[in-house]
C-alpha cells in the first residue's frame, strides 16, 4: 500500500507498475481496493493496474463531505501523481458512479469505461430511506447482525465471501460511512448526459443483482454512442467480479485488449 497526498486527502492505492496500458479500478460502497485483487492478479502482466481506496473506505479517511465529482477528481489526480496520461476506468457500483463523472469531466483522460453493476441514475425515495436506516445502524456501534448479513447477501449472494466481509466490516471504524453515505444518497442524476460519453463503454452485470437491476445496464448501453454491450453474469449478485471472476476476467481482458 502507498499513500498519495491528493486534493487534501491521503489516498491509499496499489500500483502493479510496468509499461502496459493503464487501468484504474474504483471499488463499490462499503468495499475497498482489495475487491479487485482477482482482476489485478489476472491482468497485471499485460496492463498497469492501479486500485485505490476512495474517501471513507479502506485506508483512505474522509476528512470532509464530498461528492462523486470530487471522487472523479481524486481518480484523475491519482493518475497525475503517477504520471499517467490516460487510463481505462473500471468501476463497480459506486466506482462506476465516479468513473462516469470522470468521463464527463475529463474525457481526454478516460480512454474507455467498464462499468460493473453500475448506472448513471439515482435511487428512489423508498430505497434512499432504506439505505439511511442501514447507514444509521452501521454507525451506531451495535453489532451488524442481520443488517450486515442482508447487505452481504445483496453484494455477494450466497457466496462464502459474504461471511468474510461481515467480519471485515465489524473490525473497522464504521463511523466513516456517515460521510461516505451522504455522497451515495445525495448524488446527482447524470442519465441525460450519457450521450456526451463518446469512448467505448462495456457493462458487466450480475443477472441476480437486486441493488442495481440488470435492466439499468441495458438502458445505459442504449444511451452511449460506443456501447460494447452487457456481459451478463449468470447467478451473480451485485459483485460479480468477486464471486464469478472466471466470467468477468476474460470479458474484461478482451475489452482492455480491444480498446488499448
- Residue 241 to residue 36: CA distance in whole angstroms: 7
Number of Cα atoms under 13 Å in the Cβ half of residue 244: 26
3-state secondary structure of 214: coil
- Residue 212 to residue 236: CA distance in whole angstroms: 12
Instruction: Note down pLDDT in tens along the chain; length 260 residues.
Output: 799 999 999 999 999 998 999 999 999 999 999 999 999 999 999 999 999 999 999 999 998 999 999 999 999 999 999 999 999 999 999 999 999 999 999 999 999 999 999 999 999 999 999 999 999 999 998 999 999 999 999 999 999 999 999 999 999 999 999 999 999 999 999 999 999 999 999 999 999 999 999 999 999 999 999 999 999 999 999 999 999 999 999 999 999 999 99
Residue bearing cell 463503454: 201
Determine the pLDDT at residue 1: 74
Answering whether pTM is above 0.95, one says: yes
Determine the pLDDT at residue 68: 98
Q: Kindly tell me the burial class for residue 114, based on how many C-beta atoms sit within 10 Å of its own C-beta (0-12, 13-18, 19 or more).
A: buried
Determine the pLDDT at residue 27: 98
Determine the pLDDT at residue 91: 98
For β-strands 110-116 and 201-206, DSSP reports them as: parallel
Determine the pLDDT at residue 210: 96
Q: Please state, as a whole number, how many other Cβ atoms lie within 10 Å of the Cβ of residue 235.
A: 14
Helices 176-185 and 125-138, packing angle to 10 deg: 170
In the chain the domains, ranked by start, together with CATH numbers, are 2-122+191-259 (3.40.50.1820)
Beta-bridge partner residues of 23: 49, 88
Q: Could you please report the per-residue DSSP string of 73-114? A: HHHHHHHHHTT-S-EEEEEETHHHHHHHHHHHH-TTTEEEEE
- Residue 252 to residue 24: CA distance in whole angstroms: 13
Largest CA distance in the chain: 48
- Residue 68 to residue 240: CA distance in whole angstroms: 22
Q: Which ranges of the chain does DSSP label H, i.e. alpha helix?
A: 37-43, 68-81, 94-105, 125-138, 145-156, 161-171, 176-185, 215-223, 240-243, 245-259
Amino acid at each position: 500500500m502507498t499513500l498519495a497526498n491528493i486534493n487534501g486527502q491521503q489516498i491509499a492505492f496499489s500500483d502493479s507498475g510496468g509499461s502496459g496500458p493503464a487501468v484504474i479500478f474504483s471499488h463499490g460502497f462499503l468495499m475497498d481496493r482489495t475487491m479487485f485483487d482477482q482482476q489485478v492478479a489476472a491482468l497485471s502482466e499485460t496492463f498497469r493496474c492501479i486500485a485505490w481506496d476512495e474517501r471513507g473506505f479502506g485506508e483512505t479517511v474522509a476528512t470532509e463531505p464530498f461528492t462523486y465529482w470530487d471522487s472523479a477528481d481524486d481518480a484523475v489526480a491519482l493518475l497525475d501523481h503517477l504520471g499517467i496520461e490516460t487510463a481505462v476506468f473500471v468501476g463497480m457500483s459506486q466506482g462506476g458512479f465516479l468513473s462516469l463523472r470522470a468521463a464527463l469531466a475529463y474525457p481526454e483522460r478516460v480512454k474507455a469505461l467498464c462499468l460493473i453493476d453500475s448506472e448513471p441514475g439515482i435511487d428512489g425515495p423508498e430505497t434512499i430511506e432504506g439505505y439511511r436506516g442501514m447507514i444509521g445502524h452501521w454507525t451506531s456501534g451495535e453489532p451488524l447482525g442481520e443488517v450486515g448479513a442482508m447487505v452481504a447477501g445483496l453484494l455477494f449472494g450466497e457466496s462464502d465471501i459474504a461471511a468474510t466481509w461481515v467480519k471485515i466490516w465489524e473490525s473497522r471504524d464504521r463511523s466513516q460511512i456517515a460521510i461516505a453515505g451522504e455522497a451515495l444518497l445525495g448524488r446527482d442524476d447524470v442519465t441525460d448526459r450519457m450521450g456526451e460519453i463518446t469512448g467505448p463503454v462495456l457493462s458487466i452485470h450480475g443477472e441476480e443483482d437486486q441493488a442495481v437491476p440488470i435492466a439499468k445496464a441495458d438502458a445505459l448501453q442504449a444511451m452511449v454512442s460506443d456501447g460494447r454491450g452487457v456481459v451478463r453474469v449468470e447467478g451473480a449478485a451485485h459483485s460479480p467480479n468477486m464471486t464469478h471472476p472466471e466470467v468477468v476476467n476474460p470479458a474484461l481482458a478482451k475489452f482492455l485488449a480491444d480498446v488499448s
